[in-house]
Structure 1
Amino acid sequence: MVRPAPELAPEPAAALEAFLRYLAVERGRSPNTVRAYRNDLTALLARLPGVELAALDLSMLRGWLAGAHAAGVERATLVRRAAAARTFTAWAHRTGLLATDPGIRLESPRPTRKLPAVVTARQASDLLDAACSGAAENDPVALRDLLLLELLYATGVRVAEVCGLDVADVDGERRTLRVCGKGDRERTVVYGVPAERALTRWWQLGRPALVRAGSPPALLLGARGGRLDPRVARSVVHRAVSAVPGAPDIGPHGLRHAAATHLLDGGADLRYVQELLGHATLSTTQLYTHVTADRLKVVHDRAHPRA
């Protein structure tokens, strides 16, 4: 059961709406990020003892996080909530809504950086072979699902990125995609021959069957002709993976991790993987190196004179 959002007093409610506009317009944050900040900050501001935003202080911020921790909220969620609070109080101080910035002294637990389960290269191959067989009758939805799976695994793009692709973002001659990622950062990713074959079938037999007069220029379309919804894409991946014996239950992000892991296992340069995935820092990409420890051990045993 979903709890209704708490009612906020007029002053904090107005401040929250102004802050969310700032996030969306000036900072260019995604709708998902804005939605998460809204939920977190609504819960925070509902704890105000009065109707004025000035009552927001450090003890209240700490009590809010402590209560969430006692309720069993996961560490990653606590980190996100602390970040939302700090961003809001810094903005409120700059705009004169708060005399001081209480969030500047707010500490949060260090995030745990662990990777989800990853399908093996054999399981990924079985998954895509099954999707290809399912599209043998040229059903347009099956052709779309095949292309979705091929692109997610071939390029390591995020599910929102692949659903956000337009027809004009595809360069078939160079086998590249122009992707708009987090923070509106644009990058170019490449795809291989199997994805090219799936794309060709989609162009010829899939998309023309689903496109409608009012359809957007999206590369991937839903069954009714609109842009493919990321939630539908997630269900496609979960359904496809569940049909592979022994494969862990993963979604689109799991295929992204699999793409990175298998690239590194195959000897790809870490900088290349960083560029492909659209990571702002190399330290994020380095998380994948622990998955390939077995390969590193093999290389060490073969190459090091004291192995």
Structure 2
Amino acid sequence: MTPATSEPPHPVHTASWAPSSPCGPGCLQDDEAAVSQVRVVVRLIRLVAVLCAAVLVGAVLAVPVLGGPARARWLSACCRAALTAVGVRLRVNGGPYSDGAGVLVVANHMSWIDVLAMAAVEPVRMLAKHEVRDWPVIGPLAARSGALFVDRAGLRALPATVDATAQALRSGSVVGVFPEGTTWCGQAAGPFRRAAFQAAIDAGAQVRPVAFELRRPDGTPDRSSAFVGDQTLWDSLHRVLRLPALICELTVLPAIPAGSAADRRELARMAADAVAAVTGVPHTAQWQQPLGGAAGPVRVEAA
């Protein structure tokens, strides 16, 4: 094993099973060509308008007689509109996620932008941390979209979450999950955790890898819009609102049948490798750096 060039003053992981990322403010670049404050306010007003429309119309479409598909399509359209409102252009390569059967959509995770982008392509039931349920506006929208909430603070509820996810897949749902368990800056990426892949195996469902890349209009990777470290949601949103332009490129990759892998470990590795082939960032390495480090994560090659 190649030793790290620096050692963090405190442990990176609070527990061996708890998802964590060493990415912090040091991974983010400052944008000297930020837009005017007036444009920031205009974008924010547009975003608020989209969220209000999502809540109000979504509530009307929640009436059982109107059916769930219309609500799901509406919320998907709102996700795309929200990206446009904040100055993010969505570029989609490939698709769709599903051919009508249940499918587990798995992707790398850098920002809240990924969540909106995944749902903007087509309706998706997201696997989200349970705290999201209590967030204003976003929580009710997530619940109405059929989100599955998981408690990441403990392992006791994990089997029930896997069972619920498998049941959703059996029913024909498209379930979206970010198996890294937390956000990374894009220069580094975390391993794909295996629990969600067990749900795909139990349901006999396909796994659809999706690769996210955040870029500037000139094609260079963006390193300012990731949602990492001690940032609040508002901090991250404000950084995105100030960018002149941002492209979120989403690549839908060939589906992997759950039965093509020996177990969930191999299935997770196959999906992670497929994503890494597009982004160029491996998900197999370990990374070390304290949050807030100025130089970004330090790579430690696995033996």
TM-score, normalised by the number of residues in structure 2: 0.24
Which structure has the higher relative contact order (CA within 8 Å, separation 6+)?
2
- Whichever of the two has the greater Rg, that structure is 1
Greater strand content = 2
Q: Which has the higher helix share?
A: 1
